[in-house]
Structure 1
């Protein structure tokens, strides 16, 4: 077995999308080969309704798949195919935009006004860019959870892990999407297919990935037992961890434990022509998509 080294850690950056939704972006609109087949990852977390209530009004997508995972609050959605519904806490939606779809996503907070969820964009290979759009909506109760003897918890959102298989299937990137909690002080190793690109996104607690004996990152002052001590926070809240090659990832949980998403997928390794919500292989295909948006032929009739 070979341990995947940590190539990079970086904090997600605040930005705004839609009609003024405040969120943090871990990656997106940069080098698409960096985490191929994944293009973008957003953490939309807020407890101020004025920062998310206007949501993401009607907008197009083509050539990608979007994965929305809700932790708290709800997301109401509707689209040009006539679908509509609501994602609640723990639910996931995988949308294959394919040849083209128009949809809207409107977040709502829970009873305390809190909203938290993630959206990941996965690229489609050229052979599937113009496939028929489809949705897979999955309730949180359908997502299997594994609890190990040491208290580690793994929700298998997509893919197969430790003998359990998530309910979403037929995805081009053949991804694995895990929601992992490791208790305080526990060191844990997780297998990752050698041929996949992989990243972790830490959203609660902190810990050190790869060589846990030499964590890197910012030094934080934390009061423990009445004394000021230095705590190494290699990857804490809203931190992306990008891994090199290998077939396993190791994490050493900090004093408050760590919760993170561990996501991997098979790289597509094709040219990317990308502008906003449209991702194609060539500039000509991109220009055609926007021309169709202008003249009203973007949505293809169902066959």
Structure 2
């Protein structure tokens, strides 16, 4: 595979003091159509117990995937849903959403999950919000030799098989999957239909073609027009695969708002302050 860039996740906090590892680029848009990936991972509830109290969004999509533990989602549209291990949730915020995400009280074995921000094209940023989750729907799994692809969203071809994740219609034709490799395993991804592909390692390591080793906490941006050959080492490897089509539009971001001009950001702030986003009841 041809490696375009390696980005190291950075420790930070968000919400009510939640400790996270973050990869983000709101300036150069090197991750377009993706804006940010947050990983929350801890067995100490003090790292995440504060959760994410009510806050607004406009102009982007949030995609949440839980591997261990869970969150309860609430929003002003009336959705109240527990997102537990193995499940995903997608919120296309459009013109405005107010939501909260709080750790589940009965999830006592720690938390490991991701929230990913996806940009929306300018033409869709003010459409009505949409919400979906995988709920009781089974996730398709494609097994290869020493590998397993757990589908989260979009269409996938892997190991000579095709399947569709539980969520579709994400902005920029985005597709996401959880790829797990066993010890000293190999796998290939062929994704030429996308203009952006990246791998975020959360476990283990990968031996790259140039002899370099990529470790957990790194995002590898790769050329989707080449075959993506993956080689795990003695610990195996786990990674999120993020694919999509670049939007190619300049953005202006302020906190939870992602628009295309400063005037639109000012309007978003005014609309929220004037109560036009609604309230969680």
| TM-score tier after normalising by the smaller chain length | over 0.9
1:37-48 matches, within 5 Å, as 37-48=33-44
Partner of 2:11: 14
Would the alpha carbon gap of residues 276 and 258 (structure 1) be closer, same or farther in structure 2, given more than 3 Å must change? same
Q: Which whole-Å CA distance do the structure 2 matches of 1:28 and 1:145 have between them? A: 31
Aligned length: 275
Partner of 2:217: 238
State TM-score, norm by structure 2: 0.92
Asked if the contact 1:89–1:140 (Cα under 8 Å) also holds between the matched residues in 2, the reply is no
Q: Does 1:287 align with 2:281?
A: no
State TM-score, norm by structure 1: 0.86
Asked if the contact 2:20–2:40 (Cα under 8 Å) also holds between the matched residues in 1, the reply is yes
Can you list the C-alpha shifts for 1:185-240, whole angstroms capped at 9, x where unaligned? 2222111125421110001111124x1xx222xxxxxxxxxxxxxxxxx2122111
1:95-244 matches, within 5 Å, as 95-108=91-104, 112-139=108-135, 142-148=138-144, 150-162=145-157, 163-209=162-208, 211=209, 214-216=210-212, 234-244=213-223
Q: Which whole-Å CA distance do the structure 1 matches of 2:9 and 2:248 have between them? A: 25
Which structure: larger Rg?
1
Can you list the C-alpha shifts for 1:7-54, whole angstroms capped at 9, x where unaligned? 2223211100001000100224443x2011110100011111111111
Can you list the C-alpha shifts for 1:48-70, whole angstroms capped at 9, x where unaligned? 11111110000000000100000
Asked if the contact 2:195–2:246 (Cα under 8 Å) also holds between the matched residues in 1, the reply is yes
Partner of 1:219: none
Partner of 2:243: 264
1:82-97 matches, within 5 Å, as 82-97=78-93
Q: Which whole-Å CA distance do the structure 2 matches of 1:76 and 1:35 have between them? A: 28
Q: Does 1:25 align with 2:22?
A: yes
**Aligned-partner SS, 1:261:** strand
Q: Residue 64 of structure 1: which of 60, 64, 69 is its match?
A: 60
Q: Which whole-Å CA distance do the structure 1 matches of 2:242 and 2:257 have between them? A: 23
Asked if the contact 2:138–2:166 (Cα under 8 Å) also holds between the matched residues in 1, the reply is yes
Asked if the contact 2:25–2:31 (Cα under 8 Å) also holds between the matched residues in 1, the reply is no
Calculate the aligned-residue CA RMSD, in Å: 1.8
Would the alpha carbon gap of residues 113 and 187 (structure 1) be closer, same or farther in structure 2, given more than 3 Å must change? closer
Q: Which whole-Å CA distance do the structure 2 matches of 1:58 and 1:29 have between them? A: 23
**Aligned-partner SS, 2:264:** helix
Q: Which whole-Å CA distance do the structure 2 matches of 1:38 and 1:69 have between them? A: 15
Deviation at 1:299, TM superposition (A): 4.5
Asked if the contact 1:90–1:139 (Cα under 8 Å) also holds between the matched residues in 2, the reply is no
Q: Which whole-Å CA distance do the structure 1 matches of 2:136 and 2:200 have between them? A: 20
Asked if the contact 1:72–1:110 (Cα under 8 Å) also holds between the matched residues in 2, the reply is no
Where structure 2 has 5 or more consecutive residues not aligned to the other structure, the ranges are: none
**Aligned-partner SS, 2:214:** coil
